[in-house]
Structure 1
Amino acid sequence: LGNRLSEAGRRSEALTATEEAVEIYRRLATDNPAAHEPNLAASLSNLGNRLSQAGRRSEALTATEEAVEIYRRLATDNPAAHEPNLAASLSNLGNRLSQAGRRSEALTATEEAVEIYRRLATDNPAAHEPDLARSLTNWAWVRYEAQQDPSGALRATGEAVEIYRWLVTTLAAQFLSPLRDVLGLQADLLLRLGRMREAEAIRRWLRENPLPPDPHNR
């Protein structure tokens, strides 16, 4: 419900619903951690997102850090079940840390997310390549914000673009929007590196290839 309310722009109600979910799962996990800690971690990740949307960044960071802590412990005992969620929560943590100005820690978190997704995508590309592309984009964005290693960030966007282009061609148009996002970031990085013509070529492509109308949004 919190996620749906957020999508509808009803952010205050979304936050209330997500906070209630966390309270319930926390109580359940106290009595039966094995059964309910995964759900507690998931709801904490959602809470971090909702708090960030509300501008409550310190609380968002705290919730996301707790989610990572739980998923890391769960993944130690059962990597197959919990490493994907650990990687997702690490990406979220990178965003929260970057917002807090803790850029070095943000880079560490996002890089760990990429490492996990890369390993998972090697074994199961269909399931995890979209996540790898998202984490590469996030890692590059944190580097861009930190103004560190623009060449490394550019390589990461190049890898993400390659994955998204393949996904758009072979699977679904749902990946057009993230492809455009990472291309925009790639253009910004090229500008920072003084590669004006390449940046303008990407921006021209983005102007000439707008997103099609969403058939579900009429």
Structure 2
Amino acid sequence: MEGTDTTAESIAVWRRLARGNPAAHSAELSKSLSNLALLRLFADPPPQALPAAAEAVQLMQLRHAEAPELHRADLGRCLSILAVCLNAAGLRQERHGAAAGAVRQYEAAWKTDPVRYAFDLARVLDQMGRYLADDERWADALGPLEGGLAWAEAYIHVDPTTYAPSSPGCARRSATAGGGYGNHGNWVDTRKRWCRWIPQ
């Protein structure tokens, strides 16, 4: 797969640079590893994506420990991608920890730049809520979903075109929520409202 090959070449370059100067280059290596993990989800059996995603988190955690203000959002992205990979591999319990970690990092990033990180925070809250709902932890799921919806609604004015309501994708998700969780009215209502704002 061409995209995977290109990303692997990028990783090889960043890995060489990071060996000589980790502080300067390992963050970029981490980002490339996360990108590779996402590509492998489509090209390989899901477990093949996990090593790259896990290494990306480990590297970014080191950079975050040295300069948290610079790498909060980067670590949040790596953790969110790791959660996706864990979920695809069927590691349901582990995905919760990664998703919760992503939320913590984006919450911290949002405090420093609310406009820039509001929708990232909304998305990872939605991710955490969906995983909890998959395990039928309805009460636990509702809080993150409503929190994500609140951030999206509060900052919709930033880019109303991108986050415009009413789309076929939104309608499909609403139907899925209504069909799958029809006995949980608050959950369904939140998911339907949330679908109005998430990017398609």
TMscore range, shorter length: 0.7 to 0.9
Deviation at 1:117, TM superposition (A): 1.3
Q: Unaligned regions of 5+ residues in structure 2, if any?
A: none
Cα distance per residue 1:171-203 (max 9 Å; x no partner): 3321237x9759937972795261459848976
Q: Confirm whether residue 114 of structure 1 aligns to residue 103 of structure 2.
A: yes
The higher relative CO (CA closer than 8 Å, separation ≥ 6) is in 2
Aligned partners of 1:153 and 1:185: how far apart in 2? 16
Q: In angstroms, what is the RMSD of aligned CA positions?
A: 3.3
Deviation at 1:44, TM superposition (A): 0.4
| Residue number in structure 1 paired with 2:68 | 79
**What SS does the aligned partner of 1:101 have?**
coil
| Residue number in structure 2 paired with 1:7 | none
Aligned partners of 1:202 and 1:82: how far apart in 2? 30
Q: Unaligned regions of 5+ residues in structure 1, if any?
A: 1-11
From 38, 49, 53, the equivalent of 1:49 is 38
**What SS does the aligned partner of 1:172 have?**
coil
Deviation at 1:151, TM superposition (A): 2.0
Cα distance per residue 1:131-172 (max 9 Å; x no partner): 100110111122233x14222212222222222233333433
Q: Confirm whether residue 162 of structure 1 aligns to residue 150 of structure 2.
A: yes
Aligned partners of 2:77 and 2:157: how far apart in 1? 25
| Residue number in structure 1 paired with 2:17 | 28
Aligned partners of 2:194 and 2:34: how far apart in 1? 35
| Residue number in structure 2 paired with 1:4 | none
Are 2:125 and 2:144, in contact at CA under 8 Å, matched by a contact in 1?
A: yes
Aligned partners of 1:205 and 1:82: how far apart in 2? 28
CA 1:162–1:200: 2 relative to 1, 3 Å: closer
| Residue number in structure 2 paired with 1:96 | 85
Q: Confirm whether residue 142 of structure 1 aligns to residue 131 of structure 2.
A: yes
Cα distance per residue 1:94-124 (max 9 Å; x no partner): 1111111211111011011112212221332
- AA aligned opposite 1:161: L
In the alignment of these two chains, the number of paired residues is 196
Aligned partners of 1:130 and 1:176: how far apart in 2? 13
- AA aligned opposite 1:69: Q
Q: Confirm whether residue 39 of structure 1 aligns to residue 28 of structure 2.
A: yes
Are 1:65 and 1:93, in contact at CA under 8 Å, matched by a contact in 2?
A: yes
Aligned partners of 2:93 and 2:170: how far apart in 1? 23
Identity across aligned pairs (percent)? 26
CA 1:28–1:189: 2 relative to 1, 3 Å: farther
Are 1:150 and 1:189, in contact at CA under 8 Å, matched by a contact in 2?
A: no
Are 1:183 and 1:202, in contact at CA under 8 Å, matched by a contact in 2?
A: no
- AA aligned opposite 1:80: E
